[in-house]
Amino acid sequence: MGRRVSTSERIYRARRIGTTFGRIYLGIRANRFVADRLRPADMHRRWERFHRESAESIYDAAVELRGLILKGCQFLGSRADVLPPPYVSTLSRLQDRVPPHPFETVRDTVERELRRPLFEVFSEFEREPMASASLAQVHGATTLDGRRVAVKVQYPEIAALVTGDLANVRFLFRAVGWLERDFDLMPLVDELSGNVPLELDFVNEGRNAERIGAFFAGRDDVAVPAIHWDLTSERVLVMERIDGIKVSDGAALQAAGIDRSAVMRILVEAYCEQVLVHGFFHADPHPGNLLVQPRPEGPRVVFLDFGLAKQLPETFREGVVELLGALIRGDAKAMAVALDLLGFETRDHSLESLAEMAEFVLHAAQQVRARMHLDPEFAQQLREEIPERVREDPIVRIPSHLVLVGRVLGLVSGLSRTLESRVDLLRAILPYVAQVPPRPAG
């Protein structure tokens, strides 16, 4: 059982969440009034300053409250289709700002879950964590029989916090939706409600790891840690420890003599295998979850943390095939049909509305193909223009699985630039697209 959360703590968290977001909402209404009635010349700067200060207040609340609020804000930091850029840039910093719990708390959790004293299970257990995240932290250890392992330990209070915080956020966002008919955040709450309980079940995470690891059983250049099921429970996950260089550390990769273009090729192929062949993929793609091991025969890419993995709908791969085919032909109308198949929704439910976005995406893709990556100036333009177009009319919904696939594409493109790789992303993807059976006529 996890730690109980006191009534006073629940009340404090509800008040902290409500006042933080309430002030932001009232600030939005006040700025709208100024913009509509007074129309000051510096209104753009006023909005920028307001969004920046509001994002910092959300950031501070997330760091203080941790739990689901931190997890949700990390998630929002990747949703440029929903929030203006200052929120995205500020909240994305939360990936690296999670203070760990004390060792004594970790030891108590492990002993309670495994029903044995810590050192009857491990001959060594590192007091300082290797990593700490919103729901758990990871410690290095060695089992009594000499196996080097990584032990992921869930925070004891997190399950209770998630339940209470979800109720608070659901109430708050429902109220916002009632006040602002065109501003519906409930799909985000529904997504968190579906994903976070799965991430709290480490048995499920272990199964995800084994399922994705099986995809690469025939390759030695992709690795997934083995799960030690004899030492795993819902709140403690013990897996093979695999060390390596963080995939975004270009200097360390170069110092180790690693071919960075080979790293990118392996990474692109690994995600294509998951997304386009098996329809199930590692959906939490950030550099902390990807390591690179140097080897004489070439680099190996290591995937970590499978708490968030996504099963794609059957129509996804067909939609991707049609989208890429239209992209190659430069056919924006056919791209709009593919976007509709993939699940994009518009306010007026028209393909003409999607075609406007398709034209922009087509131009962006042509630029990426020509450069083989996104140069900083063009990347900044895309980061600003695409979300702005999505947030405004006509597009009102992007399916959650496409947002997660988009995060994968963003990671790959960003790493391609960071590592100065010359991998042609479209050329790398096409062989996998060719394996997808065509959609039946009619």
Return the H-helix or E-strand segment holding 368. Answer: helix 351-371
Residue 320 contacts residue 276 (beta carbons within 8 Å): yes
Reduced to 3 states (helix: H, G, I; strand: E, B; else coil), residue 46 is: helix
Strand partners, 148: 142
| 190/197 Cα distance (integer angstroms) | 12
CA count, 13 A, side-chain hemisphere, 157: 15
Pick the catalytic residue: 36, 284, 331, 340?
A: 284
H-state helical runs in 94-233: 103-114, 158-179, 186-199, 202-215
284 as an active site residue: the answer is: yes
| 293/249 Cα distance (integer angstroms) | 12
Q: What pairing do the DSSP bridges indicate for beta strands 236-240 and 222-223?
A: unpaired
**11-17: long-range contacts (C-beta < 8 A, 24 or more apart)?**
13/65, 13/69, 13/161, 13/164, 13/165, 13/168, 14/164, 14/168, 16/61, 16/64, 16/65, 17/61, 17/65, 17/69, 17/165, 17/168, 17/169, 17/172
H-state helical runs in 372-434: 376-391, 400-418, 425-433
- For 17, 96, 170, 376, the CA distances from 69, given in Å and listed in that order, are 9, 15, 12, 31
Residue 274 contacts residue 401 (beta carbons within 8 Å): no
Q: Verify cis geometry, omega within 30 degrees of 0, for the bond prior to 394.
A: yes
| 408/321 Cα distance (integer angstroms) | 17
Q: What is the 8-class DSSP label of residue 350?
A: -
Q: What pairing do the DSSP bridges indicate for beta strands 131-132 and 245-246?
A: unpaired
| 268/86 Cα distance (integer angstroms) | 29
Structure-token match 């959906």, residue found: 283
Q: Residue 241's closest CA among 122, 134, 155?
A: 122
Q: What pairing do the DSSP bridges indicate for beta strands 395-397 and 345-346?
A: antiparallel
User: What is the phi/psi pair of residue 110, to 5°?
Assistant: -65, -45
By annotation, the residues acting in catalysis are 284
